[in-house]
Structure 1
Amino acid sequence: MASPPDTVTVRGAHQFEIVGYSLIKGFAAGEFVRSDAFAVGGYRWSVRFYPGGFSAPYSAFVSAFLKITSKDARAWACFDLRLLDRATGLSRSVRRAAEPVVFDYSAPHRKCKGKRGARALMLRSELEASPYLRGDRLTIECVVDVAAAGVAPRQLRAPPSDLSKHLGDLLDQQDRTDVAFDVRGEVFRAHKAVLATRSPVFMAELYGGMKEEGMERIAIDDIQPVVFGALIRFIYTDVLVLPGDLEGDDYKEMVRHLLEAADRYGMDRMKVMCESILCRSLDASTVETTLALADQHYCTALKDVCLQFMSLGLEG
C-alpha cells in the first residue's frame, strides 16, 4: 500500500565520543570501533569509525559510517556526519547525504547498503593536526532524518535550500551582530559564529589561539572595503557578488583582489571561482600579472592556463 503524501521524517542525533584515540590509531584497514546503539524513527543505529581506513585503498584516511542495526530492517534516511571542534563546541559537516538513501540490514555486505558514510572522511594526518582531536578525544556527531517505514525517496524530496537567503537576510538586518571590522574607515558588522564556521582563519582569530582581548572591533587596513564586503557576503550566502559598474581591466583587478582575500581567509570555493573567472578572461596584457598572482597563492589550475596561454603566444 502506498504511503500517504504528507508523511514526515523523524530526526535524531547522537554524539560518539572516542576517548583514547591514540589506542586505536594503529588499527589496520577495515578494523573499526562502534558507538552505542541509538534509536531514531523506530530503528536502531550505530556509528562506525575506522581509524586505519575502510579498506586498503583508503589506508591514508579515516573512515566513518552510519549503520542500521535493527535486524532485517530496511529504511530510507538522510544523514549528516559531523566532527566536533573541542575548543569551540562547534561542529563541521564532513559527509552529508541530503537526499534519502536506503539502509538495508539484509543487503549483501559487498553492496554496503546496511551502512552509509565516507571511506575518505579525512586524511589521518589532517585529522590529527586539527582542532577536532584534542586531549586524545574525538567526537563524531551524527544527525539522522528517518522516513516512516516504507516511504520512497520521491515522497521525501525536500524543497531547494533557502539557507543562503536566510543568512543573507541575517547579514542585511544586522540583527545580534557581535563583531565589527573597521576596514579603512568603513565598518562591517557580522556574527562571529557564522564567520568561524565558514573560515578557519576567522575561527582562529575569533575563538582560537590568535584571539585577543577586545576583539569586538577589529581594524583591517590592507584590504579594500569593497573587497572585504564581497568576502563577507560570500561567507553568508556562498554567492560571489562583484560591483556592477566594473568593466575590463578594473573588473579583472577586482577579481584578483577577491582571490587574494579568499586565499587569506581560507575560502577555497570562493578562491576557485575567482580562478575560473581569471582563466576565462586572460589576455596578453594581464597574463604575466595573473601568472605571478597564481604562483603566489598556489593556484595550480590558473598557473597552468597562464603558461599554456604564454606558450601559444610565443609559438604564434
Structure 2
Amino acid sequence: MEHGRTNLTEAVRSVRLLKLDGYCVTAAMDSSYYIKSRWNVDGHEWEVRLLPGHFHYESSDGRLPWVALQLMLLSEPQRNNLNVNANLSCRLVDPSRHLDPSPETGRSRVFQSRGELSSAVLLVRRRDVPSSGYLVNDSLTVQCAITVLKELPDVVVPAPAASNTEAPLPPIDLQRHLGELLQCQRGGDVTFVLHSGERFVAHKAILAARSPVFMAQFFGHMNERSSQCVSVQDMEASAFKVMLHFIYTDTAPELDDEDPEAAATMAQHLLVAADRYGLDRLKLICERKLSGGIDIDTAATTLALAEQHSCALLKAKCVEFIARSPETLDAVLATDGYRHLVQSCPMVLSELLRAARGRNV
C-alpha cells in the first residue's frame, strides 16, 4: 500500500533583526511611542512596530511597561485571498552570541482589510531589561519573524492504482531491430554485387515487402527468383547502401549531411534509385530535398532529372525558378546543365518557354 502526502497550505516566512540603539532614552517617551519597520512578505506590505514602553495590565502588579511589538497590514488583501493569516513572533538576541536567544513569543491574526493591527507581542518587562544581559552598550536587538499562511488550491488526489496495473509499453524499436539485422547480415538470402565490386547481403522477404520491383524479382517469374546473387549496374555503391538502409529503417540520415553539396548529390542518386525500385516515399523525400536547393548552377540539371523520372513537384519548382526573371533565365541558359537539358529532354523546353512568356520575359 502506498502512502502519499498532500500539502494543503504553504507558509511564507521572513526574518529580520531589529536593533534599538539608545534604549535608555526611550524611558522618557510616551507609552504610545513606537519605532516602525516596513516589510514585504508574500506580496503584502507590512509594518512592524517596536514599542519600548507599552503598558500592560497585570493583576498582581497593575499596569507595567513592556518592550512589545505589533504587526499592521499596510496593503489591501489580494483578490484571491480576502483573509490574510499572519503571525508575528519575536525574541531577544545577543549579537555577540554569548547568550542564547530568549524564548520566542508571538501573536497571530486574520487580517481582512488595510490598516488592521495585531495584538501586542509582549517581549520583556522594561524593569528586567538591564539585568537580562541582552542590553549591550545601551542597544537592544530583537529578532522578528513574519509568517503568512497561504491556502493552496484544491488538490485532486487520484485513486490508488490497482495492484494489477500493467507496466507501460516500451517505445517502438522495429526500425532499430531491422537496421541491426541488415548490418549483421544474419539470415540474408540474397547478395547484391555492384559494378564497383562491393557486395551487400540482404533479405528477399523484407525487400519484396517494401518494393514492388523486388517483389517481382524474387517472388514473380523473373530470373532472380531462385538466384542468390544479383548484379546491379549503373548505381553508385554509396547510394545503393543508403537505399537498403531506407528500405529496412525508413530513414536516410545522409540527406541531412552538414555539407549541402554532398546531401544534394546523394539526393540525386537516391531519387534515381527510388524511381527504379518503386520506392515512392523515398522518391518524394528526395524531391523535396532537391526542391529546397535549386540555384543557377543546378536548375537545368535538376530539371532534366525531374523530367526523366516523372517528378512533378521538382519539375514545377525548377521551371518556376528558371522563369522568375530575365536575368535568371539568361544565367541558366549559359550553364553546361542547360546544354545537357537540351540534348536529353528537348520536350521540356516548350514548357519552359511558356512559363517564361507568362512572366513577360
Q: TM-score range by the shorter chain?
A: 0.3 to 0.5
TM-score, normalised on structure 1? Answer: 0.48
TM-score, normalised on structure 2? Answer: 0.42
Higher RCO, Cα 8 Å, sep 6+: 1
CA radius of gyration, larger in: 2
